[in-house]
Amino acid sequence: MIKIDEKKGIFILYTKHTAMILQNLAGFIGMAYYGEKIKIAESEYFCRTDVRPYTPEELPGEEVSFHSIYPHVYPFYGCGNYRETAFRAEQENGSDTCCLKYIGCSIMKEKPKLPGLPQSFTKNCNTETLILYLHDETAGVLAEIMYTLFQDSEVIAQSVRIQNQGENPVMLKKVLSSCLYLEGDLELITLNGTWARERYVQRERINYGVKQIGSINGASSHTHNPFIAAVRPETTETQGEAWGMAFVYSGNFTASAEKDFQDRTQLMMGLHPETFSWELEPGKSFYAPEVLLNYSARGLGRLSRGYHDFIMNHIIRSKWKNRERPVLVNSWEAFYFDFDAEKLLHFADTALACGLDMLVLDDGWFGHREDDTSSLGDWFANEEKIPEGMEWLGEEIQKRNLKFGIWFEPEMISPDSELFRKHPEWAVQIPGRAGTLSRNQYVLDLTRQEVRTYLFRCMADVIHEADISYVKWDMNRQITEAYTPTLPAHRQKEFFHRYILGVYEIQEQLLKTFPDLLLENCAGGGGRFDCGMLYYSPQIWCSDNTDACDRAEIQMGTSLCYPPSCMGAHISACPNHITGRNTDFMTRAHVALAGTFGYELNLMRLTDTQVRQIQEQTAIYHAYSHLTRGGRFYRLMQNENYIAWQFVSPEQTETLVTVIQIRNSPNQARLHLKLQGLIPESCYALDGKLYTGGQLMRIGLPVEPLWGDGVSRLLHLTIEIAE
């Protein structure tokens, strides 16, 4: 619900449990409050007209003092605000000073569209959108700041539209999407890492100055994830305040926290200005990607579950999001490049015997690909390996009652490829400068329409010909030498944004052409794990690191924002090909069960005992997938010895608890694991014993000691119905 008192200059955005209060002071919109829902008395208290910052009308001649303190909802550059700004626009005279003043507002019942971008959507849910119109008359720029409320969620979707209403082009140099102001002591939570160690949780005090994370490599990156949270020092999983920002975007981004001398913290998120500019012609508009704002008064767990529900209901569009996913086996860790049609069909026979649903053919099936030095861009069957062609292979796999999936890396091109020999100009490169190889490949220039048309046609032909049910879309290198000959020199910083818009365009076209396709995004593992990708695919490969102990930690960090059902998680062989660690086979299954569940190993090397274990593991998956897909997720414990989590059914009638013992330690007290999300008065049964929900949540579930490192236990409790 949105309430506006234009006379007092107050705008109030209410969700079920939160309130955001904005103020119009001297023609500038500031943020007065964002937090737990409160009642507002008939007063101007939140406008703070009796204390600093005094308005220019109250203290003439002190406009700079006003702007240096005022919490602008969309801070601009050049008029006295020396904190980080959200907006800079260079005008014809070379100045990039703007002064965005409030000229009006409107309320829409529907949600505004953001052309070409992933965005939250509404379905069977009422929405309201507040649009604030901020104008700079001199520059001829209108900024529309949009806040959308959803009837079924605490999340507020914020986005920005910039219009050039002047007579001359304007060069946008910085267009962020959201800015929040919070007061008091805070800590910042970010998800950081590198390849094979993505989204590890870092929590640190917000001190004076600027703390910034981001990416400039063309993807949201392995290094930093486009999600941040600010929390009180006392905040835990179950108590305390937490604020979140999640970017619905998959390219270069920035997120920052700045604490000023008044102990107010400014949080901002948006496109990274170092690699961005955009020439905005008169009469044209630019749409900034969306940021999802969220608040919890009851800990990080509630903040996370709010994001999980929102992403499932308002970001992921795929038909697969509520379906049980097929249990697949991927050929990569089984064969790498060393396979032929006979080996693949033997592999398929073994997959069927193990009770699996799908065979995914990973790298090496196309062009003359025998290693990672050739053929990217040549998306047709490798005749040496598959002489009968992809249609034949698809038919043979489906004769075995298996679905067929395939791997593409469509954004890349090998110097040793037919495509490069025919179109070397399609590779991203700077004229006169030697290109930088990574993984023996270049990046294709997806800002070019002819490149996007070629890629879509190649992929669509293979998907149609082989009756492909699943596509793994990979991106295995970062972008260097960012340049495109399709843009003049002064517009080259449009490249990165136009590139990711090209990725979105191809994926959108694929899904419209093949609406039943299960698409899984991947970027060298978890290098593009964000809400932008989830708009196109209901799952993303979480990390190339499939070691169960590492994966448990990676998945726990990822769950701060993203639902477990969207995490690509598979069981791999041991010793693990990344870490060399041996982990119990069932532990690997228990970790993968908290994601999409599948296999990355050579089934033909398994013992009869291991085949029976796979049959048991897949049976467990089918038995509990309704919980891991549709249940509420709770992080229970994470320390050097244990990681534990819990799924609870929407009706709170059953719960699935996973305990991973990372490291055994002798002479410990028996673990009593405090569960969450149960009905306190109800009784829950486990192995013939009854526990009340209150007992399980306050005293804890006793967990018998486990023997060894990297071992686990899966505990399923159901409510006891009195006869």
CB 333 within 8 A of CB 572: yes
Range 654-659 average pLDDT: 98
Q: How many CB atoms lie within 10 A of CB 439?
A: 14
CB 537 within 8 A of CB 528: no
CA 189/CA 206 separation, integer angstroms: 10
CA 4/CA 6 separation, integer angstroms: 6
Range 90-95 average pLDDT: 94
Q: Which two tokens stand for residue 103?
A: 């000229």
User: Does domain 2-314 correspond to CATH entry 2.70.98.60?
Assistant: yes
Q: Which two tokens stand for residue 131?
A: 């649009």
> Bridge partners of 265?
182, 259
pLDDT exceeds cutoff 70 at 18:
yes
Helix (H) / strand (E) element for 572: namely strand 571-572
What does the pLDDT read at residue 69? 87
What does the pLDDT read at residue 14? 95
Rg (CA), the chain: 27
pLDDT exceeds cutoff 90 at 252:
yes
Continuous H helices in 631-721: 693-698
pLDDT exceeds cutoff 80 at 159:
yes
Query: Which part of the chain has CATH 2.60.40.1180?
Result: 637-719
pLDDT exceeds cutoff 50 at 184:
yes
CA 544/CA 238 separation, integer angstroms: 31
The burial class, CB within 10 Å (0-12 / 13-18 / 19+), for 714 is: middle
Range 643-654 average pLDDT: 97
Beta pairing class for 539-541 and 567-568: parallel
Encoded amino acid at 658, one letter: T
What does the pLDDT read at residue 462? 98
> Bridge partners of 181?
266
Encoded amino acid at 656, one letter: L
What does the pLDDT read at residue 272? 98
pLDDT in tens, 342-368: 999 999 999 999 999 999 999 999 999
Helices 449-465 & 390-399 angle (0-180, nearest 10) = 40
Range 317-329 average pLDDT: 95
CA 627/CA 633 separation, integer angstroms: 9
What does the pLDDT read at residue 293? 98
What does the pLDDT read at residue 609? 93
Q: Which of 247, 243, 256 is nearest to 290 (CA)?
A: 247
Range 200-211 average pLDDT: 97
Provide DSSP, 438-449.
BTTBEEB-TTSH
Per-residue HEC secondary structure of 211-262 comes to EEEEECCCCCCCCEEEEEEEECCCCCCCCECEEEEEECCCCCEEEEEEECCC
CB 152 within 8 A of CB 129: no
Please provide residue 507's backbone torsions phi and psi, each rounded to the nearest 5 degrees.
-65, -40
Range 592-607 average pLDDT: 95
Mean pLDDT of the chain: 95
Q: Which two tokens stand for residue 222?
A: 């392995």
Q: Which of 195, 271, 217, 213 is nearest to 436 (CA)?
A: 217
Q: Which residue has the higher pLDDT, 363 or 38?
A: 363
What does the pLDDT read at residue 520? 98
Beta pairing class for 358-361 and 442-443: unpaired
What does the pLDDT read at residue 41? 63
Range 118-128 average pLDDT: 91
CB 455 within 8 A of CB 410: yes
Encoded amino acid at 473, one letter: W
Q: Which two tokens stand for residue 372?
A: 């990672």
The burial class, CB within 10 Å (0-12 / 13-18 / 19+), for 707 is: exposed
| Secondary structure letter of residue 272 according to DSSP | -
CATH of domain 637-719: 2.60.40.1180
Range 485-510 average pLDDT: 98
Share of the chain above pLDDT 90, in %: 90
Residue with tokens 């159901």: 718
Provide DSSP, 510-557.
HHHH-TT-EEEE-BTTBTT-SHHHHTT-SEEE--S---HHHHHHHHHH
Share of the chain above pLDDT 70, in %: 97
Q: Which of 682, 592, 693, 700 is nearest to 636 (CA)?
A: 700
CB 117 within 8 A of CB 248: yes
What does the pLDDT read at residue 363? 97
Range 645-661 average pLDDT: 97
What does the pLDDT read at residue 723? 47
Half-sphere CA count of 279, side-chain side, radius 13 A: 12
Query: Which part of the chain has CATH 2.70.98.60?
Result: 2-314
Query: Biggest alpha carbon distance in the chain?
Result: 85
Q: How many CB atoms lie within 10 A of CB 233?
A: 11
Continuous H helices in 122-225: none
Provide DSSP, 577-625.
TTT-----HHHHHHHHHTTT-EEES-GGG--HHHHHHHHHHHHHHHHHH
Range 527-545 average pLDDT: 98
What does the pLDDT read at residue 54? 64
pLDDT exceeds cutoff 80 at 58:
no
pLDDT exceeds cutoff 60 at 44:
no
pLDDT in tens, 606-642: 999 999 999 999 999 999 999 999 999 999 999 999 9
What does the pLDDT read at residue 722? 52
C-alpha separations of 438 from 66, 197, 465, 479 in Å: 50, 20, 31, 9
pLDDT exceeds cutoff 60 at 413:
yes
Give the start-end residues of each E strand in 260-348. Answer: 264-271, 278-280, 285-296, 328-330
Q: How many CB atoms lie within 10 A of CB 674?
A: 16
The burial class, CB within 10 Å (0-12 / 13-18 / 19+), for 431 is: exposed
C-alpha separations of 292 from 43, 87, 259, 313, 681 in Å: 30, 19, 22, 13, 36
Lowest mean pLDDT among 39-53, 122-136, 237-251, 581-595: 39-53
| Catalytic residue numbers, as ranges | 474, 544
Query: Which part of the chain has CATH 3.20.20.70?
Result: 323-541
Lowest mean pLDDT among 131-145, 160-174, 510-524, 662-676: 662-676
Instruction: Give the CATH architecture of domain 323-541.
Output: Alpha-Beta Barrel (3.20)
Q: Is 57 helix (H, G, I), strand (E, B) or coil?
A: coil
Confidence of residue 460 (pLDDT cuts 50, 70, 90): very high
What does the pLDDT read at residue 5? 87
CA 445/CA 432 separation, integer angstroms: 17
Range 53-60 average pLDDT: 67
Confidence of residue 169 (pLDDT cuts 50, 70, 90): very high
Range 55-74 average pLDDT: 81
Cis? peptide before 575, omega within 30° of 0: yes
pLDDT exceeds cutoff 90 at 7:
no
Cis? peptide before 282, omega within 30° of 0: no
What does the pLDDT read at residue 505? 98
Q: Is 154 helix (H, G, I), strand (E, B) or coil?
A: coil
Lowest mean pLDDT among 37-41, 262-266, 612-616: 37-41
pLDDT exceeds cutoff 60 at 449:
yes
Helix (H) / strand (E) element for 326: namely none
C-alpha separations of 193 from 130, 178, 202, 272, 472 in Å: 37, 24, 10, 19, 23
pLDDT exceeds cutoff 70 at 49:
no
CB 237 within 8 A of CB 277: no
Q: How many CB atoms lie within 10 A of CB 62?
A: 16
